[in-house]
Chains A and B, each alone.
Chain A
Amino acid sequence: MNSTEQVSVKRIKIDAAVVLPDRPRSKIPDHFALSIWQGTEAETLPAKVSHRIVGRTHPFSSVVEEYKKLRIKILSATQKKFRNTIMVASAQSGEGKTVTAINLAISIAQSLDHTVLLVDADLRQPSIHTYLGINPHYGLSDYLTSRLNLSDILIKTWIKNLVFLPAGTPQRNSSELLASRRMRDLVQEVKNRYRDRYVIFDSPPLLPIADGLSLSEYMDGVLFITLAEKTNPVFAKQALAHLKNRNILGVVYNGSRQSTSPYQYPSYYTI
């Protein structure tokens, strides 16, 4: 190990935040989603895509490698019986559910054998569209409350094999909507339509509201998210107690400051 590497490794140990270089500004207009829907996948990213969507913005970063590891483990655990509906949940808000759901979806979508439908099931505070830089007109809530067709609300993203189902108009009775028969039918529909599709649901936090609990009934597996230095063990246990009879695939530890391996490349050299 040369001196440069030593210095870099040391920095990782002290503060393991991955520093991503700023991406070049895009000249694509804000209403990029419309053009996506029109089936013209953009070559460059929309201006409002969050830097946290590393699977697309920084595809060679170490963070992406971690998501790839997550993808492998998820596929390994679900591929045999093809349990393809996965809910991403956490005890409280702000622990990285949405970012994890998006990056996991991108990672699976980038695999050669699977397509992904990313569903924003947080009907109260939807945010996936913001991360993706999309401004959808309709979404899941609209589908559940009206006679819209599923194909009317799906958005094909700029990532190949990744389709996005936005949350739609925020609703007060989101819990009831998610527990409704139409929602169950929707899940069955998207689950069974394609044999190679994974459906990833970004759910509301489990403890403050019941939406996530309602949604988890239809899921093949639940991915539980924790955030370093924030997630309280007591709350985490309470949330998992709610999911007692669900299939918990595992835990994702977000915001780690520790180097996971002494062989990890520093971020500067992986990008």
Chain B
Amino acid sequence: MPDNIAFRATIDHYTQVLVRRKYIALAVGLAVLSVFTWGSFIMPKVYEASSTVTIEKSGLINPLMEGVGVSPTEARLRKIRSTIASRSTIAQVIEKLGPAYATENETQFNGLIKKIQSNLKITVREEGERRGDPDLFTIEYRGGDPLEVKNFIETLVKEFINQSVLYQNMDAEGVYRFIDSQLEEYKIKLEYSDKSIREFLEQNPTMVPQSEETIARRIENFQVAYIEGSIQLKELLQKRENLRKQLTGEKELSVAFISESSYSPAGFKGTSEDRQKEHLNTLNNELMLLLTKYTIDHPDVLRLQSEINEIQSQLAKPKEKRNNSGSVSGSEMRTLNPVYHRIKEELSKTDMEIDAVRARVDELTKRQSEGRAVLERMPKEQEEWTKLRRDRTAYQHIYDELLQKRESARVSKNLEMSDSTMIFRMIDSPILPRFPVSPNRIQWIVFGFLMGIVSAFGAAVGRDYLDPSYKNEQTIQDDLHLPVLASIPLIRTATDHHAKTKFDNKIYALAAIYCTLIGLLLFIEILYRYLGIRLLPF
């Protein structure tokens, strides 16, 4: 109940404010109404023409094209919007429309393009969006002349449709070329990567992709082999020392006394010289026989060679000397010491083994050093190696994908070249607009009435709020802290009252007439817009 009383008090308060400030409220309200109403007549008219275009897609091909590198519709729709509003398209439309859009210089032409672009609107139709198939869109154009906007939108849509196939082909070709260029680029990268790997392997021959444990195990094996080799080397050195000691106790040649009779071979009846010659021949034959089996360094060969050399030196001495020296009944014969030669042979063999073992030990040492070096620089090399391998794998992957996409793009290009994927159709032709879209006089006048009421109330309340004078007793008591002894009503005689009422009625009548006039304009506009009945020429 108290709320109800408070509400009524509030209503009463604002009613009194309105009565108190009725003139300013009326003036402001009517002024606002006038601004909206007559403003709608003064404002330049804007007409709009629109056309709906659909993209028809091949029902057979598109399912096949799904998932292929180039999206046939969605991506392209975005492009269509920018294509329609592009400078080149609009310029061609202007050229076709001729003198209506004639400009004198480049600046004017640029201004015209910008103006047209700002008046052009391309929207995807809602029904298409609801279906999840945004291939239905509307092109709208606004201008001051209804015929002009109709012709413009018609020409623009036709021009767009004519060019669409060309754009499609250019698009597909462009995509194919792009992928192809990317493919070439990655091919070069791949080759470069291979080259880098080869160079790396050449610079790091020991760098075999293996683990550090493997290399450590190998170094350990080298170490074991090195120790074994060292032991063997020591044994051989000891052996060689022993052989050398034995060799010093032996003479290279041994002396034998041979009688001439005993010396002659059996059945040989010639002189001593002849017998030596005969023996020399025999030895040469044996030597030749041995050389077929052994090398020149073989001990038997050396022994025979030494014996042959001795006989030859005997034969080369003069006869007297030989006879003097052979005054004894037999001759002294120097022959090779077989023990000496066997030791020497063994020594030679030992030397060779020592050399071999040394070489092996040296090799093992070198291998160990190399292994340790590899182990030290392995992280860096491994990192570089990994990078090279990774790059190469990535390049290879992209290259393979691009290769696949290029083939897909080739198919797409061929399909679009055959004009079998998309067809643009104008399903709603532009019509000559009868009414301007702006200003909508009905909306403006109705809005003017509403705003007039609101602003009238606002003006009255605002004026009252700004007026600091006393408006009730309570305010006086609160402000002056004095009792209000009487509240004398406004005194007015019947004559005054009638005069004021008459004046007020005149004001109300004028306001009502004015509002009726505007209401009549509203009615005429409704008749014109919705029933086509035109009562006013403007």
Contacts and interface: CB of A to CB of B under 8 A. Distances in A.
B499 to A, nearest CB: 11
Contacts of A255: 488-490
A226 B473 CA distance: 10
Given A19-B492, A228-B471, A258-B472, A66 B486 contact: yes
Given A19-B493, A251-B476, A257-B16, A67 B488 contact: yes
Contact of B486 (A18, A67, A231, A234): A67
Contacts of A54: 491
Contacts of B20: 229, 257
A181 interface: no
Contacts of B470: 226, 228-229, 231, 233, 236, 253
Interface string A238-261: 001000000011111111111010
B483 A233 contact: no
A31 interface: no
Contacts of B16: 13-14, 257-258
A251 B494 contact: no
Contact of A22 (B471, B472, B493): B493
Contact of A17 (B484, B485, B487, B497): B497
B468 A232 contact: yes
B467 interface: yes
A73 B469 contact: no
Interface string B322-344: 00000000000000000000000
Chain A contact patch, size range: 35 or more
A229 B469 contact: yes
A108 interface: no
Contact of A251 (B469, B480, B492): B480
B15 interface: yes
A185 interface: no
B19 interface: yes
Q: Is the interface of A mostly helix, strand, loop or mixed?
A: mixed
Contact of A16 (B475, B486, B490, B495): B490
Nearest to A240: B480
Nearest to A99: B491
Nearest to B477: A251
A233 B469 contact: yes
Chain B contact patch, size range: 20 to 34
Most A CB contacts (10 A, CB to CB) among B482, B485, B494, B495 go to: B485
Interface in A51-99: 51-52, 54, 62-63, 66-67, 69-70, 73-74, 96, 99
A100 interface: yes
B16 to A, nearest CB: 6
A63 B19 CA distance: 21
A118 to B, nearest CB: 17
Given A22-B494, A228-B470, A70 B486 contact: yes
Nearest to B498: A19
A230 interface: yes
A223 B485 contact: yes
B485 A63 contact: no
A234 B488 contact: no
Nearest to A16: B489
Contact of A253 (B19, B488, B497): B488
B48 to A, nearest CB: 49
Contacts of A176: none
A10 B439 CA distance: 43
Contacts of A69: 485-486
Contacts of A260: 487, 489
B370 interface: no
Contact of B494 (A16, A19, A234): A19
Contact of B488 (A15, A20, A252): A252
A15 B489 contact: no
Nearest to B504: A15
A237 interface: yes
B469 A100 contact: no
B384 interface: no
A21 interface: yes
A256 B489 contact: yes
A99 B489 CA distance: 12
B479 interface: yes
A18 B485 contact: no
B12 interface: yes
B490 A22 contact: no
Contact of A252 (B468, B485, B495): B485
B503 to A, nearest CB: 14
Contacts of A254: 488
Contacts of A256: 472-473, 487-490
A74 B16 CA distance: 31
Given A52-B491, A257-B490, A15 B19 contact: yes
Given A250-B483, A252-B485, A233 B494 contact: no
A198 interface: no
A14 B470 CA distance: 17
B473 A20 contact: no
A233 B476 CA distance: 8
Contacts of A228: 469-471, 490
A164 interface: no
Contact of A96 (B15, B469, B471, B488): B488
Contact of B485 (A70, A233, A257, A267): A70
Given A21-B493, A67-B488, 11 more contacts: A16-B490, A19-B497, A20-B493, A233-B480, A248-B482, A251-B485, A252-B485, A253-B470, A256-B472, A256-B489, A260-B487
Interface of A: 13-22, 51-52, 54, 62-63, 66-67, 69-70, 73-74, 96, 99-100, 223-224, 226, 228-234, 236-237, 240, 248-258, 260, 267
19 contacts: A13-B12, A13-B16, A16-B490, A17-B489, A18-B491, A19-B492, A20-B492, A22-B494, A67-B488, A70-B485, A99-B491, A228-B470, A233-B469, A233-B479, A251-B483, A253-B473, A255-B489, A255-B490, A257-B489
In the A-B complex, the 10 residue pairs with the closest CB atoms: A70-B486, A17-B490, A250-B485, A19-B497, A250-B483, A256-B487, A253-B487, A18-B489, A17-B492, A51-B493
